Structure 1
Amino acid sequence: MSNRRTFAVLGVSESNSIFLAKQIAKTNPVLLFDHDAVVLNTVYSQILSEYSNAKAEIMICPTNASWEADVIILSNAAATDGNLIEKIRNVATGKIVLFLENKKNTINFESTLDKLQHFFPFSKVVQSFESAVDYNNSLFLNGNDKEAVKTILTLFTSIGLKANIL
């Protein structure tokens, strides 16, 4: 990615969110939010100890984190939290909103994408899900905005993930 973007990672208590937050923090500012303050502080401390030049910040409000970010990343748990979605919906306008889904929840990718786009009608929604065949090693990306999907593909490949566009 040519320019540095700020990423809000909402729901850092899930392993895929923790991994992404750490990898992104190597080269881009990261805003971290989770309802579990212990996990949030632990992840924040890990990022700072592993990457001395990391620009990470704990956020106590998902709205503020989303407002300040260029890209919003929602863990599977955050994506199913209707209260959280309602709080960030208006500040996500025009931004990329990436949903990290686990393979158990992605039965019909197209209807899931439509549902997610309905929650964020004025955002560039991208969904990421794990390969059922190559768990933990390959991700698939889906979205209606080709440029947003390409941006996330570039991000994922730059941090060492194998990703493909569906």
Structure 2
Amino acid sequence: MPSIRTFAIIGVSETKSLFLAKQIAKTNQVLLFDLNAATLLEVQTQILLENPEANVEMMICPTNASWEADVIILSNYAATDTNLAEKVRKVATGKVVLVLVNEMNPVIFENPADKFQLLFPFSKVIQSIESTDDLKESLFLKGNDADALKTILTLFAGIGFKTNILI
């Protein structure tokens, strides 16, 4: 994984997305998008207060944020919002798309990883599933691209997550 990448985090109002934004902004550029403009401003301000050197930018359009990013992170609600997902899909070709799924609020599909891969057919879709309430306790990754899995596994390990790959 190159030393600095650009991450688009779509849906920063969810706890896990906010935590990832703060952690990723310590070493990488972060583009933030949320449907709630007040939350977006609050998150950017919070990150910059905690880390004044962070390269974090608010984006008013999910398409622009995703287009500029190397890795796109979709919160649970962003992945299940058809209109929002379609805007991201248009510019996600060849990129890693990480979908955050909370076990407590699972996305209702027969096979979520396959469903997301169909939604993003030309992307490297990785699904992250929480196993408990504690974000650092354990996360599971699922996806079909070995390099993308390695990228996200390395990112999560650097943040301090205990992460396993589901086959």
Q: Deviation string for 1:73-101 (max 9, x for gaps)?
A: 00000010100111111200000000000
1:90-105 maps to which residues of 2 (within 5 A)?
90-104=90-104, 105=106
How far apart, CA to CA, are the structure 1 residues paired with 2:141 and 2:79? 16
SS, match of residue 156 in structure 1: helix
Q: Deviation string for 1:8-55 (max 9, x for gaps)?
A: 000000000000000000000000000101111110001001011100
Long gaps (5+) in structure 2: none
| Structure 1 residue 2: Cα displacement | 3.7
Per the normalisation by structure 1, the TM-score is: 0.94
- Specify which structure has the higher proportion of helix: 1
Give 1:148's aligned residue: 148
How far apart, CA to CA, are the structure 2 residues paired with 1:2 and 1:115? 29
Q: Percent of aligned pairs with the same residue?
A: 65
How far apart, CA to CA, are the structure 2 residues paired with 1:165 and 1:97? 16
How far apart, CA to CA, are the structure 2 residues paired with 1:13 and 1:3? 27
Per the normalisation by structure 2, the TM-score is: 0.94
Q: Deviation string for 1:82-122 (max 9, x for gaps)?
A: 001111112000000000000031677x8111000000000
SS, match of residue 91 in structure 1: coil
Mark the CA change 1:67 to 1:115 in structure 2 (over 3 Å): closer, same or farther.
Answer: same
How far apart, CA to CA, are the structure 2 residues paired with 1:155 and 1:111? 25
User: Contact 1:29–1:55 at 8 Å: present in 2 too?
Assistant: yes
Root mean square deviation of aligned Cα: 1.5
